[in-house]
Structure 1
Amino acid sequence: MVFLRYALFLCLVSMAFCQESMDVEFNLLPRPLIIEYPETRLSNITEELKMQCTSWRVAGESNNLAPWKTIPTECAEYVEEYMLGRAYNFDLETVSKEARLYAKTLKLGDDGMDAWVFDIDETLLSNLPYYSDHGFGLEVFDCAQFDRWVLEGVAPVIRPSLKLYKDVIGLGIKIILLTGRSEDKRNVTISNLMDAGYLKWDKLILRGEEDEGKSAAAFKSEKRKEMMDEGYRIIGNYGDQWSDLAGTSVASRSFKLSNPMYFIP
């Protein structure tokens, strides 16, 4: 009987230590990723409308929509929440990461003529402060108003793009900046870029008088052809509009950043 009681005591002690050990091991296991999102302004929008606006945005990013001048009125809050929330930044980070991985796989030529083309607006610099005052694309674009904003020279950096820019420079690839901004904004553009952390490039190409009236796609295609005629190999292109990337004389690989606020043909 004494032996049985002693054996039972040892069994209970063993079970207690075993349970304690299991608890310790369990606590050391990685926790599942749990993200709690705060309530947003979209709480009053129906799930059906959210899905419709998401579908519209995806169609726009895939270049499946006809040219449009403003965002759909019913999607105003959706676009605002997307641009100011975490999703937009996640999308920027994803594209930047993929572009950086691609750049690091490239075998560069010995002549130093490998080039990467960057757009500027909504690519290197963000005009979100301007568009937040103009309905995030709900208003018809006003060139005069936008020019006044550009001349302030305070557009903030898009940080995932700055990461890519620095990696591309570090790899020895030449940087070419190709923008639809007009030539008279060269100085303020240079100042704004440098304030944002973009300190050097091989070329900064803006619209000259001879480019007035050309679509963005035609203008940028022509400039890419001129680069290639000079001997550059455009191994990467990075922009927020399809007109930055498509057309003729395209890059070996292009990367499209999200921008549901406006469309430039």
Structure 2
Amino acid sequence: MAASVFLILFAITVLTCTAAHDFQTSIHLLRPRQGLGRQLVEGVDCLSWRLAVETNNLRNWQLVPESCESYVGNYMLGKQYRRDCKVVADAALEYASRLNLTGDGKDIWVFDIDETTLSNSPYYARTDVQFGALPYNATKFNEWVAEGTAPAIPAVRYLYNKLVSLGFKNVILSGTNARFQDVRAANLHKAGYRSWERLILKGDADKGLSAVAYKSKRRTELVSQGYRIVGNVGDQWSDLLGANAGSRTFKVPDPMYYIA
């Protein structure tokens, strides 16, 4: 009887604590946290693999090693990922605080969307996706985007809004298809991004361009309009390379996929 009462009280406590977490301020644990402490799985050192990915030493890879799917999932849904994002955001904010604004409204920061301002972890946690261990399915991912329910990455949202308060203008530049303009704008607003100078998505004129070429093109257009890109935040190296990448670039972690 005592054991039953304990279990009931424990369940109530868990539900209460879970309900207290705001959708916009946490990335919820969607899967059991197993195996994170063991990085060497079937001959693949998953921690070293992730480091090679983040430093761009491992390029043009297609899938997360199957044996590292659990490791990547637990990383993306765990505290370490959030801590790593915070380190990036803190470094960016420290840099921004030392800049002298010109006052003409042309000093801008560029932000990506997927795995930068918004997290797709709820989607990648699904069994038919498995945190990048299975091939990318454009149809399924677009269905997820159309839901408009992606949560914010808390550290990036904090950085984004602090930059606004400091007087910078933020431009959101994404490879998302332009047909999702309204849903992405609504999702960003719901997740706590309330102000931007431009929201630029990929249109028909950008078809066939690589991510580097597309983002270089759009950033160059901004510069030609008189904007100065003082900072650039993205999860892919293709967000941060190419023409007019910005005076400083900041990469948030993403070991789930690689975009050239």
* TM-score, with length taken from structure 1: 0.82
Quote how far apart the aligned CAs of 1:66 are: 2.5
Deviations 1:220-246 (A, max 9, x none): 001010100001000000010001111
CA RMSD, Structure 1 to Structure 2 (Å): 1.7
Using the TM superposition, give the Cα deviation of residue 212 of structure 1 relative to its aligned residue in structure 2, in angstroms: 1.1
2:82 aligned counterpart, secondary structure: helix
2:109 corresponds to: 116
SS in structure 2 at match of 1:117: strand
Partner of 2:202: 207
What is the CA distance between 1:98 and its match in structure 2? 0.7
- The structural deviation recorded for 1:80 is 1.3
User: Does residue 198 of the first structure (1) align with residue 216 of the second (2)?
Assistant: no
Instruction: Provide the C-alpha distance between the structure 2 equivalents of 1:201 and 1:165, rounded to a whole number of angstroms.
Output: 10
- In structure 1, what is the equivalent of residue 232 of structure 2? 237
Structure 1 residues 246 and 44: CA distance shift in structure 2, 3 A: closer
Distance 1:109 1:50 in 2: 54
Question: Structure 1 residues 48, 132: CA separation in 2 closer, same or farther (over 3 Å shift)?
Answer: closer
Which consecutive unaligned segments of at least 5 residues does structure 2 have?
A: 1-31
Identity of aligned residues (%): 45
Per the alignment, residue 222 of structure 1 pairs with: 217
Q: How does 1:98-117 map to 2 (within 5 A)?
A: 98-117=91-110
- Counterpart in 2 of 1:254? 249
CA distance in 2, matches of 1:112, 1:245: 23
| Structure 2: distance between partners of 1:113 and 1:237 | 14
Query: Which residue pairs with 1:84 in the alignment?
Result: 77
Q: Is the 8 A contact 1:50 1:78 kept in 2?
A: no
CA distance in 2, matches of 1:245, 1:179: 12
> Whose helix proportion is higher, 1 or 2?
1
Report the Cα distance in structure 2 between the residues aligned to 1:124 and 1:250, rounded to whole angstroms.
18
Letter in 2 for 1:192: N
Q: Which residue of 2 aligns with 1:126?
A: 119
Cα 1:44–1:212 change in 2 (3 A) is: same
Find the counterpart in structure 2 of residue 157 from structure 1: 152
Distance in 2 between residues matched to 1:174 and 1:46, nearest whole Å:
41
- Unpaired runs of 5+ residues, structure 1, are 1-38
Which AA in structure 2 matches 1:126? S
**Residue 57 of structure 1 aligns with which residue?**
50
Q: Is the 8 A contact 1:183 1:207 kept in 2?
A: yes
Q: Post-superposition shift, 1:110?
A: 2.8
Q: Which letter does structure 2 place at the counterpart of 1:216? A: A
Contact 2:86/2:155 (CA < 8 Å) preserved in 1? Answer: yes
Task: Please state how far the C-alpha of 1:153 moved relative to its aligned partner.
Answer: 0.3
Match of 1:139 among 134, 137, 158: 134
Q: How many positions carry a matched residue from both structures?
A: 227
Matched, 1:95 2:88: yes
Which range is displaced more, 51-60 or 119-128? 51-60
Cα shift readout 1:192-238 (whole Å, capped 9, x = no counterpart):
01100111111010001011111111100010101000010000000
Q: 1:49 to 1:252 in 2, by over 3 A?
A: farther
1:206 match: secondary structure: strand
Q: How far apart are 1:119 and its partner, in Å?
A: 0.3
Code of the aligned partner of 1:91: D
Give SS of 2:45's match.
Answer: helix
Closer, same or farther: CA 112–46 of 1 in aligned 2, 3 Å: closer
Quote the Cα distance in structure 2 between the aligned partners of 1:87 and 1:65.
Answer: 21
Moved more, 124-133 or 107-116: 107-116
**Separation in 2, partners of 1:120, 1:87:** 21
User: What amino acid sits opposite 2:62 in the alignment?
Assistant: K
Which residue of structure 1 lines up, in the alignment, with residue 60 of structure 2? 67
2:40 and 2:46 in contact (8 A); partners too:
no
Q: Distance in 2 between matches of 1:231 and 1:207?
A: 21
2:9 — aligned with what?
Answer: none
